[in-house]
Amino acid sequence: MKYKIYILCITLLISINFLEARKIKLKKKESLNNTNSTFGDINFEMELLKFNNSPNRQDKTNKYYGWETNTDIIPSGDMRAVKGGTFTMLGGSEYPNTFRSLGKDSRHQINGLMDGLQNEALLGFDYERLEWEPVIATHWKIEDDSLTYWFRIDPRARWADGKEIIAQDVIAAFKLLTDDGHGDPNTVSYYNDLFHMPEAISKYVVKITSKKIDWRSFRSAAGLYPMPSYYLDKIDGAGFIEKYNFSFLPGSGPYAYDQENSKKGNEGYIILKRRNDYWAKDHKRNIGVYNFDEIKFIFIEDDNQQVMSFMNGDYDIYPWSRAQWWVERFTPEKYNEIDKGWVQKIKIFNFLPKGPSGLVFNTQKPLYDDIKIRKAFAHLFDVEKLNKRLFFNEYVRLNTFFYGTPYANPNNPYIEYNPEKALELLNDAGWSRKEGEPWLSNINGEIFEFDFLMSPGDERIFSTLQDDLKKVGIKMNFDQVDGNMAFSKTMKKEYEITYQGWTAGFFPNPQGMMHSKFANEIEVTNITSMAIPEIDKLIDQYNAEWDAKKRVPLAHQIDSIAVNSYHYALGWTSPYGARMLYWNKFGMPDKGLYYAGGWQSPITLWWMDPVKEHKLINAKQTDSQLPIEKQLIDYWNREN
């Protein structure tokens, strides 16, 4: 299925109390006298001097100064990795409407990828060890009030044009995020509600103060991407989205956009080149990652053409396989490339967060404001039949917004396929079928008819739903538009019913999708206009609760109410991190993917293996066999 999965940090996974992570989980809180330091910052050096001249230095830095760092970093990459080569992958079915990862129309999956390859946050987070790590900032400090956060920027950090990264660049980024001119009210509201304007304490030290106790606030502050102030000081949010639709500000990350060799449009491609002058290329955290000299994204609209192009060697991995194709089409009997081991199949299990997906109802349309109507659709959505007939049991059925996490309410029901129950609900809502009539109608004689927004190719899935609805008297019309347009219409709430899936961040944030303050907004993740006072109250309590053990039951209540509100008739998700075909020329770590990584992981984690590449070229020339490598990686024992 070609419905888009868009990168978004929403509800989900694995609970951690950040205050406790700071106090307990950090294996090495490095005291400042152990850091090497040509800090270039008089305020920071004065504090360091006071610390070095004080007794009981380790205790005092923790108690009085509170600065932390982490030098006990375990690289995510593999020591065997080598640099070089071009990695080509399918960037989607359509060229993105914009390159921006901020502002309206920016939630194409490729936007977040390009942003993450060219920019860096103040801190990184090791999801496996639950530890903060230096990136742009070398040190950080959380005041006892849990509201005030300090970050000390690495004086070595540089933008791609060679200029220093300074505290003012954090302020400039925050100003842009909170400028409603960029057209993303979700982002504006989130940062405005959470933080005061950051303060530049000195050239390299920035202070960020939260407006309220929120257990995720330090994570949000640490995750800020500085942006070059010497550009942003000359432009506002509206100007930014106009000027940087298809270009980028200088970034601090390992790759940069190669505009000269890229080509715009659906016949086009996007090339990112690895920067030889990347300021942190020798940092410990970057061992074994960012291995490819070039990363090239191509775009192919037709599903079958995507497969043909892959088998022709036009790109390197194919991660978007339909379940039916995975089981029946991509077999040694049907493809010589697979039979000969030139193309390998692999399924990798890990701790990738999964967001909700399902039929979504625009409750701003009067018909779908009735919970009886929404619940009736849930009873007519036969997910089990789809999984057996079309998905070959490759997926699992959802009954939660927080799949696979402690936040998922274990008592949530699975809504059974039950046409009789659905008809009862429809009758109660004023819809009945007169004798001899094919369609349900209301007291005004209007038949029950709706347009289902979807992308081309999705009819193979939703024709089953169409047939089931027809049996009870509901007429479902297919409104087919291209994927970008379908998502744009969904975000603008220009739909009746559609199917939408979301990715998830590692830590839950149900506010964007469920809080009533976004119910009447567009370009937000509350696409159904959910507005439930009880959920609002629980979200406020959840946000303010620093104790993880107390957050979980709050999340259970939120999850239960949301599921039983039927704004989503929940669908399915994959229980693994990625399932893909790839040309047999790559090296990869034993784990295959990052701990919480998806199909994007190979971009930064794999490498071109010169020996394998040579063997592949020779095998294709001589039509000879290569070894069939293992088709399942379960490094963390997640399958069962």
Residues of the chain with pLDDT under 70: 1-64, 640
DSSP states along 527-559: TT----HHHHHHHHHHHH---HHHHHHHHHHHH
The pLDDT of residue 508 is 83
Angle at 74 between CA 70 and CA 78, to 5 degrees: 150
Q: 371-380 and 459-472 are packed helices; what angle lies between their axes, rounded to 10 degrees?
A: 120
Diameter of the chain measured on Cα atoms: 93
Q: Examine the domain organization and report whether 229 and 322 are in the same domain.
A: no
From the list 303, 324, 267, 300, the residue with the least C-alpha distance to 2 is 303
Give the CATH number for residue 563: 3.10.105.10
Contacts by 430-436, CB closer than 8 A, 24 or more apart? 431/473, 433/472, 433/473
Q: Examine the domain organization and report whether 447 and 491 are in the same domain.
A: yes
Helix (H/G/I), strand (E/B), else coil: 342: coil
Q: Examine the domain organization and report whether 540 and 590 are in the same domain.
A: no
How far apart are alpha carbons 279 and 292 in whole angstroms? 17
Q: Examine the domain organization and report whether 426 and 509 are in the same domain.
A: yes
The pLDDT of residue 409 is 95
Q: Examine the domain organization and report whether 322 and 388 are in the same domain.
A: no
Angle at 483 between CA 311 and CA 452, to 5 degrees: 125
DSSP states along 436-473: T-SS-B-TTS-B-EEEEEE-TTTHHHHHHHHHHHHHHT
Total structural domains within the chain: 3
Q: Dihedral of CA 317/318/319/325: which sign?
A: negative
Asked if 483 and 2 count as a contact pair (C-beta separation under 8 A), the reply is yes
Q: Examine the domain organization and report whether 177 and 278 are in the same domain.
A: no
How many CB atoms are closer than 10 A to CB 58? Answer: 13
Helical residues (DSSP H) of 223-327, grouped into ranges: 229-232, 237-243, 303-311, 323-324
**Bridge partners, 479 (sequence order):** 453
Give the CATH number for residue 591: 3.40.190.10
By CB atoms closer than 10 A (0-12, 13-18, 19+), residue 79 is exposed
DSSP states along 188-244: HHHHHHHBPPPEESSSSEEEEEBSS--TTHHHHHHT-----HHHHTT--HHHHHHHT
Asked if 288 and 601 count as a contact pair (C-beta separation under 8 A), the reply is no
Q: Examine the domain organization and report whether 133 and 232 are in the same domain.
A: yes
Q: Dihedral of CA 486/490/491/494: which sign?
A: positive
How far apart are alpha carbons 525 and 401 in whole angstroms? 13
- Residue 289 within a domain: yes
Q: What are phi and psi of 199, to 5 degrees?
A: -120, 135
Q: Examine the domain organization and report whether 286 and 209 are in the same domain.
A: no
- Residue 396 within a domain: yes
- Residue 638 within a domain: no
Q: Examine the domain organization and report whether 278 and 233 are in the same domain.
A: no
Tokens of 449: 């008819």
Buried b (16+ CB within 10 A) or exposed e, 168-196: bbbbbbbbbbbbebbbbbbbbbbbbebbe
From the list 188, 208, 192, the residue with the least C-alpha distance to 200 is 208
How far apart are alpha carbons 219 and 456 in whole angstroms? 39
- Residue 227 within a domain: yes
Q: What are phi and psi of 257, to 5 degrees?
A: -65, 130
The pLDDT of residue 168 is 98
Domain range enclosing 484? 5-9+356-573
- Residue 114 within a domain: no
Single-letter amino acid code for the residue at 137: A
Tokens of 38: 């040509």
Buried b (16+ CB within 10 A) or exposed e, 115-136: bbbbbbbbbbbbbebbbbbbbb
Q: Which residue has the tokens 């949301």?
A: 562
The pLDDT of residue 640 is 61
Asked if 346 and 592 count as a contact pair (C-beta separation under 8 A), the reply is yes
- Residue 67 within a domain: yes
Q: Examine the domain organization and report whether 377 and 524 are in the same domain.
A: yes
DSSP states along 395-444: SEE---SSTTSTTS-TTPPPPPP-HHHHHHHHHHTT-B--TT-SS-B-TT
Q: Examine the domain organization and report whether 134 and 230 are in the same domain.
A: yes
Intra-chain end-to-end CA distance of the chain, in Å: 26
From the list 31, 28, 463, 96, the residue with the least C-alpha distance to 269 is 96
- Residue 50 within a domain: yes
The residue out of 199, 218, 243 marking a domain boundary is 243
| pLDDT tens-place string over residues 93-151 | 889 989 999 988 887 788 999 999 999 999 999 999 889 999 999 999 999 998 999 99
The residue out of 545, 573, 601 marking a domain boundary is 573
The residue out of 194, 220, 243 marking a domain boundary is 243
From the list 67, 89, 93, the residue with the least C-alpha distance to 586 is 89
How far apart are alpha carbons 292 and 535 in whole angstroms? 46
Residues 6+ apart with CB under 8 A from 552: 15, 406, 407
Give the CATH number for residue 61: 3.90.76.10
Q: Examine the domain organization and report whether 589 and 497 are in the same domain.
A: no
Helix (H/G/I), strand (E/B), else coil: 149: strand
List % helix, strand, coil for the chain (3-state, nearest 5).
35, 20, 50
Tokens of 215: 């257990």
How far apart are alpha carbons 48 and 31 in whole angstroms? 10
Q: Dihedral of CA 419/425/427/432: which sign?
A: negative
- Residue 463 within a domain: yes
